[in-house]
Structure 1
Amino acid sequence: MAEHDQDGLGSRVDVLHISEAYGGGVQSAISRYVENSVEFDHRILVRMRSEHNIEESNSIEISGFSGSLPAFLWHARAVILETRPRIVHLHSSFAGLLRTFRFAGTKIIYTPHAYAFLRRDQSAVARAAYLGIETMLSKRPQTIAAISPFEAASAARLAGGYTDIAYLPNVAADSVKIRHHRSVASNTPEVVMVGRVSPQKDPSFFAAMARAVRTDIRWLWIGDGDEVMKEELRDAGVEVTGWVQNSDVHDRIASADLYFHSAKWEGAPVTLLESAALGTPILARGVESLEGLGFPLTADCPNAAARAIERFFDDETYRRDAVAATRESVDIHSAGVQSNALGSLYRCAGQDPL
C-alpha cells in the first residue's frame, strides 16, 4: 500500500476515490477499479479503519485521515477544492454526503456499495432518515454507478429521472483463479461462509441452518467479530477461524464443497465473486439485493435453505445446475466487462461540459 498522509493530494488527477468505510469489500472494489482502468490517473482519500483493512497492496497514492466523520468530510471537501480532480468517485453512504456540496469543474460519481437504508440492524426511524437523505442527494448532479441490478433499480427510483444511472459490476482480482481442491481426511462435505461476524452477515441464519441440516456436514465461518454471535455459531457446531490472510481465505474457500452466503442485506459481495472464480459452487440466501447477479438463491428461511443444501449434496442435477450457474457468473463478472464499464463511465464523466 502506498504511503499515507494527512495532507491534501498535491497534483491534479483524473479520478479521486473517496471512502469513509475503506476496508473489506469496498477496499477490494476500489482496487479492482484502479486495476481495470489503468488509462486514468487515480488517487485515493480515505478515513482509515484498521480493523477492516484486508491488506491489499497497490501502487496508487493513498491519503489517509484518522479524525471524526464530520472532520473527514470537511477535509475531503478541502482536498477536492484544492486539487480540482476531473472526477470524484464517492464510495458508500457516508462519503456520499459530500454530494451536499457543489464542486465547479469536477464531475461526481457515487457508488453506494449497498444503501444504508437497507440495514436491517437499524431502527425504522434511522432507516427512514437514510432513505430521505439518499432521495434528496440522488437528485443532485452526478452519475450513480451501481454494483448490482437491484442497486441500479433502487438508484433509479430514488433519482426519479434527475440523475444518470450506470451499472458497474464488481469482479474478483485476476490473481483469484480456480485451483485444485486440497484432499481432506474424510468424506464429510464442507460448507463455508466468509465475512465479519455481524448483523449484516447474519450468523444466526447460518447457525440455524447448521442445526436444521440432517446430513453430516462440516460448517466453517471465516472471519471474526461479535463475541456473542461467534458463540452462537460455535454452539451450532460451526468452526469460526477469526481473521486470516487473504491467501489462506482463498485456500479455505477452494477446498470447501459449497459456499453459502447468509447475509440479510448486501451490495454485490466480492466473496461470492471470489468463490466463483476459485471454482467453489455457490448457494446464497434469497434476499432481494442479490437478485439479478446470477447466483443460485434459496428461500429466505434457514430451514428452507438447509433443505436446499441437503438437496445440493443429494441431487446430482440440482448440484450440476448450481455449478453451471456459478461458472456463468465468472464470465458476467469479469475484468474485461468491468474495464469496459469503467472506461465508459469515466470517459463520459470527463467529457461532459463543466
Structure 2
Amino acid sequence: MKQPKNILEVYYEPAFSGITRHVGSFVKRLSKENYKFHVVCATEDEQIERYFQDMGIDIHIAPPDRFFAFLGMVKVIQLIYKFKIDIVHVHNLQSIFWGHLPRLFALRTKFFFTPHVINFENKYLEKAFFIVWKAFALLADKIIVLSPAQKSALVKKGVKREGGIIVIPNSIPSEEIAAAEKGDIMAQSLDTLCILSVLRLVSQKAPLRLIDVAEIVCRQNFDAHFYIVGDGPMMGDMERAIAQKGLRESVRLLGFRKDALNLIAQADILLSTAQWEGLPYTLLEGMALAKPIVASAIDGHEFLVKNGVTGYLSHSTEALAGSILLLLKNESKRREMGRMAHQRYMAEFSFESFIAKMRGLYDI
C-alpha cells in the first residue's frame, strides 16, 4: 500500500474563527484518505486545540505572536524532520514569515501558501507588506487564493506569476448544512422578520455600520429584528451604539454561538457590512441554506453574490438599508433570491468540488 502523504497545516488565529473552520473542513475529510495531517496554530484559544483533538488530528499550539511566532517556526522545523513532512501548507498573512522561513531548512519539502485575505486597513502597511511578500513568495511552490479577483490582484502586484497561483474557493461540509435545523433559540423573532449577521466584532467587519443600517430600517416601523452573532473587542462599542440609538428592542447581540449555522437557517435575510473579506463563510452558509444576502460591495462579496439575482450589493449604508426594506416587503422576492443563491452554491461552491480541488493540490 502506498505510504500516506504527511501534510503540515500552519496558521495564526487568535480565536476560533473562519481559518480554523476552513482547515478543519478539508483535514477532517482528507484524513480518511491517504493523507496524514499535523497542525501548528499560533493561538491562545483552547477551543482550537480541542477542535482538532476531537478529530484525532495531531495539533501543536504555539504562542500567538503575530507575524513573528519564533517558537511556532521552531516547532514547524521540528515536525518537518520528525514526521518527514511532504507538504507544508501555510495559511493567512500573519503566518507568512514564521510559516515560510522553515523552507530554508527543508528544501525538498513543498510549501503552499493561502493568504485568505490580501487587504490591510493601513494602506501604507499594505504597500510595504507586498514588497516583502514578493521575496517570501519565492519560498512557496504555489499560492492558493479564494477568488479570481485575489489572483488578479497578486499577479498585478507582481507577487507571483499566473501559473503559480491556484483558485480554490471555500465551501461548507455537506453534513453541517444538512444538520442545520430550525430551533427556538431566537424565539423573540418568531412573529417578526429576522435580519442576521455573523461576524467577529473587529474593525475589518465594520460592525457599527450594522447598527446604522438597523436604525434606518427600524425608522420605517417595520416589525423586524436584527440579530448579531459574534464576539470581539468592539462588543462594548456595539452595546453603546445600540443604547444611544434607542435600538435595544430591535437589535440583539447574541455573542459567540456554536450554533450559528442553525441561526442562519432561521434568518430571513443575511447582512454583511465588512470592509474587506477573503471568501466569507457566513455568506457561503447563507447561500447553501437558500438565504438572500445584502452586503457591502467588496471583492469577497462580489464573487459570491450576484447583484439583483441572489441578493444586493452596495457601497452606501442607505442603499444597504433600502435593499433590506425592499426584501422585507416582498416575501416572494426573498424566496426567489434564496433559491437562486442555493443554485449558485451547488453549481460553483459545493463541498465535493472543494475537496476534489484540495486533493488535486496535495497530489501535485
The answer to whether the superposition gives a TM-score over 0.5 is yes
Contact in 1 for aligned 2:117/2:278 (Cα 8 Å): yes
Give the counterpart letter for 1:65 in structure 2. A
The match for 1:20 among 12, 17, 26 is 12
The match for 2:61 among 64, 68, 81 is 64
Tell me how far apart the structure 2 counterparts of residues 285 and 87 of structure 1 sit (CA, whole Å). 36
Q: Does 1:307 align with 2:322?
A: yes
Tell me how far apart the structure 2 counterparts of residues 259 and 203 of structure 1 sit (CA, whole Å). 14
Partner of 1:5: none
**Aligned with 2:205: secondary structure?**
coil
The match for 2:213 among 209, 212, 218 is 209
TM-score (norm 1): 0.84
Deviations 1:173-229 (A, max 9, x none): 233225554575654211010111110111121111011122332011011222432
Q: Does 1:330 align with 2:352?
A: no
Give the counterpart letter for 1:217 in structure 2. A
Give the counterpart letter for 1:175 in structure 2. E
Partner of 1:168: 168
Which residues of 2 match residues 25-174 of structure 1 at below 5 A?
A: 25-37=18-30, 38-39=32-33, 40-50=35-45, 53=48, 56=51, 57-66=54-63, 68=65, 69-97=69-97, 98-100=99-101, 101-102=103-104, 103-115=106-118, 118-120=119-121, 123-157=122-156, 158-161=158-161, 164-174=164-174
Tell me how far apart the structure 1 counterparts of residues 290 and 50 of structure 2 sit (CA, whole Å). 23
Tell me how far apart the structure 1 counterparts of residues 344 and 202 of structure 2 sit (CA, whole Å). 26
Deviations 1:144-191 (A, max 9, x none): 111222222223334342761112221112332255545756542110
**Aligned with 1:341: secondary structure?**
helix
Tell me how far apart the structure 2 counterparts of residues 261 and 52 of structure 1 sit (CA, whole Å). 25
RMSD (Å), alpha carbons: 2.7
Partner of 2:198: 194
Identity percentage of aligned residues? 20
**Aligned with 1:175: secondary structure?**
helix
Contact in 2 for aligned 1:144/1:155 (Cα 8 Å): no
Give the counterpart letter for 1:19 in structure 2. Y
Cα offset, 1:129, TM superposition = 2.1
Contact in 1 for aligned 2:111/2:141 (Cα 8 Å): yes
Tell me how far apart the structure 2 counterparts of residues 188 and 54 of structure 1 sit (CA, whole Å). 39
Contact in 1 for aligned 2:11/2:92 (Cα 8 Å): yes
Cα offset, 1:81, TM superposition = 4.4
Tell me how far apart the structure 1 counterparts of residues 242 and 50 of structure 2 sit (CA, whole Å). 27
Give the counterpart letter for 1:346 in structure 2. Y
TM-score (norm 2): 0.82
Give the counterpart letter for 2:141 in structure 1. Q
Tell me how far apart the structure 2 counterparts of residues 267 and 330 of structure 1 sit (CA, whole Å). 16
Cα offset, 1:26, TM superposition = 0.5
Which residues of 2 match residues 265-284 of structure 1 at below 5 A?
A: 265-284=276-295
Cα offset, 1:252, TM superposition = 1.9
Tell me how far apart the structure 1 counterparts of residues 27 and 314 of structure 2 sit (CA, whole Å). 36
The structure 1 segments of at least 4 consecutive aligned residues displaced by more than 6 Å after TM superposition are none
**Aligned with 1:159: secondary structure?**
coil
Cα gap change, 1:232/1:175 in structure 2, threshold over 3 Å: closer, same or farther? farther
Cα gap change, 1:229/1:53 in structure 2, threshold over 3 Å: closer, same or farther? farther
Cα gap change, 1:129/1:325 in structure 2, threshold over 3 Å: closer, same or farther? farther
Contact in 2 for aligned 1:267/1:289 (Cα 8 Å): yes
Tell me how far apart the structure 1 counterparts of residues 140 and 261 of structure 2 sit (CA, whole Å). 40
Of the structure 1 ranges 46-55 and 260-269, higher mean CA displacement relative to structure 2 is found in 46-55
Q: Does 1:241 align with 2:254?
A: yes
Deviations 1:61-107 (A, max 9, x none): 11222364233223323433444311111011122223344322111
Which residues of 2 match residues 243-262 of structure 1 at below 5 A?
A: 243-244=256-257, 246-247=258-259, 249-262=260-273
Give the counterpart letter for 1:336 in structure 2. E
Contact in 1 for aligned 2:6/2:84 (Cα 8 Å): no
**Aligned with 1:218: secondary structure?**
strand
Structure 1 unaligned segments of length 5 or more: list them.
Answer: 1-10, 349-354
Deviations 1:26-63 (A, max 9, x none): 00000112133232221111112318749644221112
Of the structure 1 ranges 302-311 and 151-160, higher mean CA displacement relative to structure 2 is found in 151-160
**Aligned with 2:314: secondary structure?**
coil
Give the counterpart letter for 1:90 in structure 2. V
**Which structure shows the bigger proportion of residues in helix conformation?**
2
